[in-house]
Chains A and B, each alone.
Chain A
Amino acid sequence: MTVPVELPSLVDLARAIRAGETTSESATQRCLAVIRDRDPSINAFIRVLDDTALDTARTADRELRSGRDRGLLHGIPISIKDIFDMSGLPTTAASHVRREHVASGDATVVARLRDAGAVLVGKTNLHEFALGTTNEESAYGPVHHPLDASRSPGGSSGGSAASVLAGMAYASIGTDTGGSIRIPAAACGLVGLKPRFRDVPTHGVVPLSASLDHVGPLCATVADAAAIFRTIADAPELDGLPAPGLVRGLRLGVPRRYFFDLLDDDVAHAFETTCRRLTDAGVILEDVVVPHASAIAAIYLQVALTEAAAFHARTLESRPDDYTPTVRVRLEAGRYVLAEDYLRALRGRDVLRAEVAAALDSRDGLLLPSLAVPATPLGAATVRVGTVDEPVRNVTLRLTQLFNLTGHPAITVPCGVTSGGLPIGAQLVGSATAALLHVAAALEAHIRGGRPASVPLA
């Protein structure tokens, strides 16, 4: 395992730039130097934007010196998953299927980041078309975990997570259709926010499953996530950044049944330790039940694959060999789902949405682990959990996909490490994104257990 870099907060960098302690150009040069040094072995980026990033950084420094301040993201180096359109550049979605594509405009989120003065350092690698949780199936090769090159950083926003953990960017923008922000964020010891459905526009983003797709940040702290959410959301309803606050009396529901049935021992131990820290601080934890939780995976499969197949049908016919074999198989399977079964899944989704709302009723949030296992070995089809071997895809989606189905906002915060030093995350779920960010900021130090926003050495 290599020595991890510090994970500086973008909010701290913004303050340092304004205090004259550093510049955007200097921070950007540092990120680009790390990319040059480490990305040949990590493979986080599909395209690095060296020249335009430095130009943007110099412009940001000039503007700030002249008194034009565009906000907290002004001059901050940020990477972006290569599934967002950036005008004049290919949006590869990590697939040969989009080899000839050139975006004619910016995705709405990209335009908002540019308006805010963010420095876009590059477009990150992902699981092909975001259809996978390990980042192994990519036309540009797998992404390697910055702490252990033999492992996956999670996915599908794996390049995004690796870029932040390795110090190649201060934050990244990803997408989350079943956990694709929260899974890699948890596996890499980051904060990852999936906002409430439709809080952040998906215009200019290559869809996976239109009714499940969400856009959000991967970054070092909850305040960083809030700063980005405030910039990219349609109506963030977030005045100022959320800050640590009183936690005594906060009420969180803990859905143990189903969600705790399949947990790695180190994950279970770290989560229970986190629960003890929270109750010691005065947080009220109450067991809650999602009665139809055992149907989550079945409902998710029918909805996600059917919607993805509809988007890909034409290219599955015209250029099937341009897909990686596993992604092609998943997409083809979706073409066999009957309309009546898709509609049954949608009915089940409504049931789950009502059940999660009931679990949240009169509570400040739900609390559960983010990822049932630590970062998985590259090439593994299954992973051992307790005494059973489970398919990697099933076990990695298990704790996150429900909230894509229901649309509730969810955020992962680092809560510990395994005996081998791999990060573990705890997930908070709420009703509204701004309120969730306030709760997460209040609880962040207790969830981390006093750890700073960096991955401890093994």
Chain B
Amino acid sequence: MTPEDWLESARADAARRGLPDLRAALEGLARATGLLRAADWNDDASGAPESGPQAPAPAG
């Protein structure tokens, strides 16, 4: 699901639930989602080399 598809679906669900005030918050989340999906720390299932930093293993 692309961020655009997600936003459309979320908006429709919020409208169905009678929460039109959610619209601006969902648009903000969609922008954040798009940014995170484009980030260089994400894995690529094709095995393509990472272009950015590897997320370090959690401590402990």
Contacts and interface: CB of A to CB of B under 8 A. Distances in A.
A350 B35 contact: no
Q: Which of the listed residues A292, A297, A351 has the most CB atoms from chain B within 10 Å of its own CB? A: A351
Given A338-B1, A350-B58, A325 B21 contact: yes
Contacts of B55: 347-348, 350-351
Contacts of B53: 291-292, 351, 354
A293 to B, nearest CB: 12
A295 B35 CA distance: 7
Contacts of B21: 325, 329
Interface string B27-46: 01101110111010110000
A332 B6 contact: no
Nearest to B56: A354
Given A344-B37, A350-B55, A351-B55, A301 B22 contact: no
Interface string A285-313: 00000011001011101100100000000
Contact of A341 (B25, B36, B56, B58): B36
A344 B39 contact: yes
A330 B36 CA distance: 19
A299 B21 CA distance: 23
B19 interface: yes
A298 B32 contact: yes
Q: Which of the listed residues A297, A305, A336, A354 has the most CB atoms from chain B within 10 Å of its own CB? A: A336
A342 to B, nearest CB: 10
Contacts of A330: 25
A295 B39 contact: yes
Contact of A299 (B36, B37, B56): B36
Contact of B56 (A297, A333, A345, A350): A350
A262 interface: no
Q: Is the interface on chain B under 10, 10 to 19, 20 to 34, or 35 or more residues?
A: 20 to 34
Nearest to A354: B56
A59 to B, nearest CB: 42
A347 B22 CA distance: 27
Interface residues of A, number: 26
Contact of A344 (B19, B25, B28, B36): B36
A295 B53 CA distance: 14
A306 to B, nearest CB: 10
B52 to A, nearest CB: 8
B6 A301 contact: no
Contacts of B13: 336
Contacts of B56: 350-351, 353-354
B6 A329 contact: no
Contact of B36 (A298, A325, A350, A354): A298
Nearest to B11: A336
Interface in B1-34: 1, 6, 10, 13-14, 19, 21-22, 25-26, 28-29, 31-33
A207 to B, nearest CB: 20
Contacts of A292: 39, 41, 53
Q: Which of the listed residues B13, B19, B25, B42 has the most CB atoms from chain A within 10 Å of its own CB? A: B25
A126 B22 CA distance: 23
Contacts of A354: 53, 56
B17 to A, nearest CB: 8
Contact of B42 (A299, A338, A344): A344
A135 B44 CA distance: 43
A435 interface: no
A360 interface: no
Contacts of A350: 41, 55-56, 58
B39 to A, nearest CB: 6
Given A298-B35, A341-B33, A348 B41 contact: yes
A337 interface: yes
Contacts of A345: 36
A332 B42 contact: no
A337 B32 CA distance: 10
Interface in A27-55: none
A301 B33 CA distance: 10
A299 B42 CA distance: 13
The 10 closest A-B pairs by CB, nearest first: A298-B32, A333-B25, A350-B55, A347-B55, A298-B35, A336-B10, A344-B36, A301-B32, A354-B56, A351-B41
Given A302-B33, A341-B36, 13 more contacts: A292-B39, A297-B32, A299-B36, A330-B25, A336-B6, A338-B33, A341-B37, A344-B37, A345-B36, A347-B42, A347-B55, A348-B41, A353-B56
